[in-house]
Amino acid sequence: MVRQSMSQMSGFAASTFKSSSLGFGTAMVILLGMGPFAGGCEPTKEKTVAEGGRAPDPRASIEGTLNYIGPPPVCDASNEVKGRALLSLFSLADPPPPTGSGLPASMLLIHGEDLFNRPTDCRTGEDDDRILTRSTSFVWPGVHLNGSDAESPAHYRIVGVWDDDANLNPLYGVRQSATRGDLLGGAFTGSLEAATPAIISVGPLAKFPNGQRVRGITVTLALPVTTEPPIAELNGDRMALSSLASFPLAADVAGLAGGLLAMTRTRLLLPDLGSAPYGPVLEKVGLDWVSNPVTRAFYFRAVDMDGDGTPDLHPILGPTYQVPWVQPVVLFQRAQTLSEKAVGVPDVFFVAHPVVPAGVASAFSVDLAIPPVAIVRLSTTDPSCLIPYAAPGNIAQTYEAGPVVCAELPAGRYDVYVSHGLAGAMPVSVSSTVSPTGLLLSGGQVSGQFWRIPNEMGAPDVAYNPYAVPQLVTRGETTGADDGAGAGAGAGAGAGAGAGAGAGAARPIDGQGDAGRFVVAGDLAMPAEEKASASLACEQAFDPFMATVREVQSTAVPASCCDSVRHLCGLPLCAWFDLGGDLGGDRRIQSLDANGAPACVPFEMPSSCCVP
């Protein structure tokens, strides 16, 4: 039985619960007959939070078996197993990256000593090719019972990783992803060859007022990770995307990709981790890496986000142009000020498209075409509330593909999410025109390893979090660079070390900080009459099939998606915030009034949500 478990973690230190003796003061009260049971009074039951009281709501526990199928574990000199299993419980309403926020509802840590027999199971060396099958039982307490309300069950899925080298930390950005040699898995139904994620339903609280025990759950960790996390950055000479950008007219997919590439000239790169500034910084943040280009290259594999066994089409380009979605999956998410988070400004995303040359299956960099369509998430639980925004100037059909908001694209600085990796793959020899290493990882499946910019390897993100502190210094040290460097840097700020970087020193890396973000910018000098003309283009647009301008037949945003933004209706757009250089500007909520209300919005809310 697992000795330590928890529903919330602080780093990887598992809480150890011990029984405590009766406090002296409490004992005296009871002995003197002054306690709540004195005089024959019946105890009162405190109401729970769901009942309007303060007592915690009852919770569920998940009980089951963890199976390990893999190589012998690494042990230290004392034959203590170094690795550990980390299980994460994700709500179906908020899945792991790249489709969700990646924040687990609960986590469970299982120590290696609970799985393995020491010292006989310990790895004896690099040539130890044994495959071990081990298992242990677990109890996972503190699982929330409710879905959206006390009458609805909560639905979860379990994903897990065997952290072989004990360097994974779910609370530290650059160490949140599995590394080569770890094992992936989760709770599944069906055979290992055709497994699908198991849906675990608990609750609702109304049905289980005293809590619930969910038994018989099996979690298997058996899929070895083949690649390293995609430690990537954007090219330094990229351009910002205009907030009024529209699709280029093109006769085919190649022409469309070329037109989109010309808009921003964005490229995703895998930097040389062995040279400055990366070497000292990786050591500082505790990331081990091996100089093996085969495990660090991009492998352009089809994406199957919904797990139905069929490759997915690109969310933006797929429906019209039948463009497949391939990894690396690259998402841009608009960074928010603390004020915007406080008032519930919706999240905004752009979905990049890797442009892969014909015949190429692997590379160390790839061009990114950025379709000028923003996805605004009006609800975190309803997929139908992912609403596209397209700027004025597109063809009429763009605004008629379901509920599409015709408005200026939300300007701002965008965090970069990269999801890439393979598990269970094997190297095969290929031509250097197919893969620059002469080897290609064949078979296996997409691992879901990911990287986010900005992260701890860059300067503190004071532009959006004034409480951010440097992550590359310990007490008594200084970075040798301005802690706020990059806060106002442009989209094209070069990747590399911050000011004052020197060999052997850990200095903030521009490409991993605020300067590494993607930028969508507005034209600060746009004349008012041009803005009015752009607004008119939302009502009438060119139809290439009719070869004329016609009225747009738009579809309203579903009313159920509007509840989260109605409080933002009627507010004017925020004033432009100058991004510096020749980038242009964005709009952002800088502060709130005494009542916690904003005076403006950073982008337009859907007009159909704001009808009186």
328: its two tokens: 């690396």
Q: Is 570 left (phi over 0), alpha (psi -120 to 50) or beta?
A: left
Range in 1-10, 327-336, 473-482, 581-590 the model is least confident about: 1-10
- Judged against a pLDDT cut of 50, whether residue 572 lies above it is answered with yes
Beta strands in 74-211 (DSSP E): 84-91, 106-111, 132-143, 154-163, 183-189, 196-197, 200-202
**Per-residue pLDDT tens for 209-222?**
889 999 999 999 99
User: In this structure, what DSSP letter does residue 95 have?
Assistant: P
Paired strand residues for 347: 377
522 pLDDT more than 60? yes
Distances, alpha carbon 388 to alpha carbons 315, 318, 446, in Å: 10, 14, 27
Q: If we measure between CA atoms, which residue out of 216, 223, 3, 9 comes closest to residue 110?
A: 3
CB 81 within 8 A of CB 117: no
The span from the CA of 103 to the CA of 97, in Å, is: 9
**Residue 575 · residue 600 · CB < 8 Å:** yes
Q: Which of 159, 162, 178, 77 is nearest to 114 (CA)?
A: 162
Whether 236 and 511 have beta carbons less than 8 Å apart is answered as: yes
Beta-bridge mates of residue 578? 585
Using the predicted structure, report yes or no on whether residue 163 has a pLDDT greater than 70: yes
Higher pLDDT, 474 or 19: 474
Name the least confident of 48-52, 194-198, 232-236: 48-52
Least confident of 97-101, 133-137, 247-251, 333-337: 97-101
DSSP state of 323: P
* Predicted pLDDT at 351: 96
In degrees, rounded to 5, the angle at the alpha carbon of residue 15 between the alpha carbons of residues 14 and 17 is 140
Confidence of residue 99 (pLDDT cuts 50, 70, 90): low
> Once rounded to an integer, what is the mean pLDDT over residues 491-512?
59
- Is the model's pLDDT at 286 over the cut of 90? no
Query: 549 in helix, strand or coil?
Result: strand
pLDDT digits (tens, 9 = 90+) for 438-483: 999 999 888 989 999 999 999 999 889 888 888 886 555 554 444 3
User: What local confidence, expressed as pLDDT, does residue 379 receive?
Assistant: 87
Q: Is residue 26 predicted with pLDDT exceeding 80? A: no
Distance CA(325)–CA(323), nearest Å, equals 7
DSSP label at residue 13: B
Rounded CA gap, 449 and 98, in Å? 10
The pLDDT of 158-165, averaged and rounded, is: 94
Instruction: Put the strands of the sheet holding 233-234 in their side by side order.
Output: 233-234, 266-269, 365-369, 353-355
What is residue 502's predicted lDDT score, i.e. its pLDDT? 42
What is the reported pLDDT for 215?
A: 93
Strands 450-453 and 365-369: unpaired
CB neighbour list of residue 206: distance below 8 Å, 6 or more residues apart: 150, 151
> Which has the higher per-residue pLDDT, 85 or 488?
85
Q: What angle do CA 195, 218, 106 make, to 5 degrees?
A: 100
pLDDT of 18 strictly over 50: no
Instruction: Report how far apart, in Å, the C-alpha atoms of 190 and of each of 58, 70, 136, 137, 184 are.
Output: 32, 20, 21, 21, 17
Mean pLDDT taken over the chain: 83
Return the higher-pLDDT residue of 332 and 524: 332
pLDDT (mean) for 143-157:
79
What's the pLDDT band for 100 if we cut at 50, 70, 90? low
Q: What is the mean pLDDT of residues 39-62?
A: 70
122-126, 151-155, 433-437: segment of lowest average pLDDT:
151-155
Coil/strand/helix, residue 260? helix
From 297, 301, 387, 226, select the one nearest 312 (Cα to Cα): 301
Going by C-alpha positions, the residue among 589, 586, 590 that lies closest to residue 576 is: 586
User: Quick one: pLDDT band at residue 526, thresholds 50, 70, 90?
Assistant: low
At residue 530, the pLDDT reads: 53
Q: What's the N-to-C CA distance of the chain in angstroms?
A: 59
pLDDT confidence of 355, banded at 50, 70, 90? very high
Using a pLDDT cut of 70, give the percent of the chain over it: 82
Which pLDDT score, from 0 to 100, does residue 283 have? 87
Residue 513, pLDDT score = 94
